[in-house]
Structure 1
Amino acid sequence: MTSKIRHVTIDCADAYALASFWSQVLGEPVHEDDHPGDPEALIEAAGLLFVTVPDPKTVKNRVHVDLQPQDHTRDEEINRLLALGATLIDDRRREDGTGWAVLADPEGNEFCVERGVVERGR
């Protein structure tokens, strides 16, 4: 017997607003049944479920996602995400092109941006 991960659930202050941010990051829609003010919002294609909770984030995430740009560079993706409202937390990019950057979404949840597919092929 086995189990399958159905969703990764992210607690947040505003489920729809945070799901909307991640929808733009991933290029995947928020579920059509979800609307502003709903206590839950789902990005089904990515398996991300956002749930509104009363308590604020207080410590570093124990689980985070690593993003890999598919059709552009890591640095271009970082700039795009900053323009969407992310914050740069820790820059671990190296002069030789390796490394990553740690960003946070609008509610402070950390995630990493690695080198893109094109960069890894070089």
Structure 2
Amino acid sequence: MNPTLRHITFDYTGEPYELARWWSDFLGRQISDTDEPGDNEVLIELPAGAPGLLFIRTGDPKKTNNRLHFALAPAGRTRSEEVERAVALGARVEAGVHATAARTVLQNQQREEMRAAMSTVLAGVTIT
């Protein structure tokens, strides 16, 4: 029998609950009932069969960009509406990155760890 992918884990030097809360709001998924602010590990539970997103506090300073990319399909919204929703949740349009009619790059409220490139059809989210 083959192993099962349980979590996609993100090391984070900040407050993992805050980063998980942003992703929870953005994805419309719940943080585990057992997690609370101040915890060193915070899990966003995804539908059965999908791995959860686990955010872990680490004291190790970040030395390079993480190389992880999610391809997300906006549901029931246009790209522009999804970008507006992400900004309303605290994301910022990333300065110095060329935005086109088909792509906008966002950062989370701490200006780190989350870069979301919203495209017309797919929203690519890169954890950096």
Richer in strand (by share): 2
- Structure 1 runs of 4+ off > 6 angstroms? none
Q: Deviations over 1:41-88 (max 9, x none)?
A: 101116210111123444333112233210010011101101211122
Q: Is the 8 A contact 1:68 1:114 kept in 2?
A: no
In the other structure, the counterpart of 2:107 is: 104
Give the whole-Å Cα distance in 1 for the aligned partners of 2:93 and 2:63: 18
Q: How many residues align?
A: 113
Contiguous gaps of at least 5 residues in structure 2: 123-128
- The AA in structure 2 aligned to 1:11 is D
Q: Deviations over 1:17-55 (max 9, x none)?
A: 111111100011100000010001101116210111123
CA RMSD for the aligned pairs? 2.1
TM-score if structure 1 supplies the norm length? Answer: 0.78
TM-score if structure 2 supplies the norm length? Answer: 0.75
Contiguous gaps of at least 5 residues in structure 1: 118-122
Richer in helix (by share): 1
Percent sequence identity over aligned pairs: 38
- Written as runs of structure 1 = structure 2, the 5 A alignment for 1:1-122 is 2-12=2-12, 13-45=14-46, 47-89=52-94, 90-94=97-101, 99-107=102-110, 108-109=112-113, 110-116=115-121
Q: CA deviation at 1:104?
A: 1.9
Q: Is the 8 A contact 1:67 1:111 kept in 2?
A: no
